[in-house]
Amino acid sequence: MIELIDLHKSFGTQRVLRGVNLTIPDGKITVILGPSGTGKTVLLRHIIRLVLPDRGTIRVDGVEMGKLKSQELNEFRKRFGMLFQQAALFDSLTVEENVAFPLVEHFKERDPVRVAATVRKKLELVGLAEAIHKMPSELSGGMRKRVGLARAIVLEPKIILYDEPTTGLDPITAAAIDNLILSMQKTFSVTSVIISHDVVSAFRVADQVAMLHDGCIVECGAPKDFQRSDHPVVREFLKAAHVVNGEVHR
């Protein structure tokens, strides 16, 4: 379980997070929606302590992230996988080396043949087996994101943080990625936190949907309840996405 309690974060004079409270249950998929620039990425980066909050606590499985020392923190981070919004691939390594990187660096797998097999399997899951020998600079944005996804799941972590996994993908690939996220949750009971703009896909995969607005979580609940919310911002967001009662209307 991930608990975010009263998180505050400012950059200069801009107050991005103003008291975020959110509980993310184990083995479930939580989707965080919100307009562009509200601080969704900032929130996600807090969970894995890439940024420290000005105020507030983050507890993962009961452990307070802010209190860990650097080596304990590194041990703890092995439970996480993270997909960055811009993928953040290592541009001096090939696609294959990028995906193999966590495996090799943590000495999980010493046998190069088995590493190659695992890498190929993960790349097939994201539909990129043919790009295995390319450099990141030779990939499209959507391909890069899928390589980032393969890298995030290669160690089969318990908690995966996705920053807009399907943005910039065509509907078919997006649906395939949604299914991948779902199947990971089913088979390994992964805890997933997904940031998304895509309301339709959010309702397809989520067990819990939360809405970040003006630095606070303004609505949080199961997809059904979320859709019935009468918070004006949520209503507006859903209306703009043409979602009424879980159906897309145009």
Closest among 186, 101, 111 to 150, alpha carbons compared: 101
- Where does this chain touch another protein (CB under 8 A) — which range of 75-83, 111-119, 167-175, 197-205? 75-83
Measured from the CB of residue 122, what is the shortest distance to another protein in angstroms?
15
Binding site partner of 130, from another protein, Mg ion, ligand ATP, none, Cβ cut-off 5-8 A by kind: none
- Where does this chain touch ligand ATP (CB under 6 A) — which range of 30-38, 147-155, 217-225, 226-234? 30-38
Looking at the DSSP bridge assignments, the partners of residue 8 are 18, 55
Binding to another protein by residue 91, rule CB under 8 A?
yes
Burial classification of residue 248, based on how many CB atoms lie within 10 Å of its CB (0-12 exposed, 13-18 middle, 19 or more buried): exposed
Closest among 108, 115, 219 to 157, alpha carbons compared: 108
Measured from the CB of residue 82, what is the shortest distance to another protein in angstroms?
4
Q: Which of residues 201-240 bind ligand ATP (CB under 6 A)?
A: none
Q: Which two tokens stand for residue 215?
A: 């630095």
What DSSP string runs through 101-169? HHHHHTTS---HHHHHHHHHHHHHHTT-GGGTT--GGGS-HHHHHHHHHHHHHTT--SEEEEESTTTTS
Binding site partner of 39, from Mg ion, another protein, ligand ATP, none, Cβ cut-off 5-8 A by kind: ligand ATP
Binding to Mg ion by residue 41, rule CB under 5 A?
yes
Other beta carbons within 10 angstroms of residue 189's beta carbon come to 11
| For ligand ATP, the closer CB: 102 or 168 | 168
- Where is 194: in which H helix or E strand? strand 191-196
**Given candidates 22, 56, 80, 192, which one binds another protein under the rule CB under 8 A?**
80
Binding to ligand ATP by residue 10, rule CB under 6 A?
no
Binding to Mg ion by residue 167, rule CB under 5 A?
no
Residue showing the smallest CB distance to Mg ion in the complex: 41
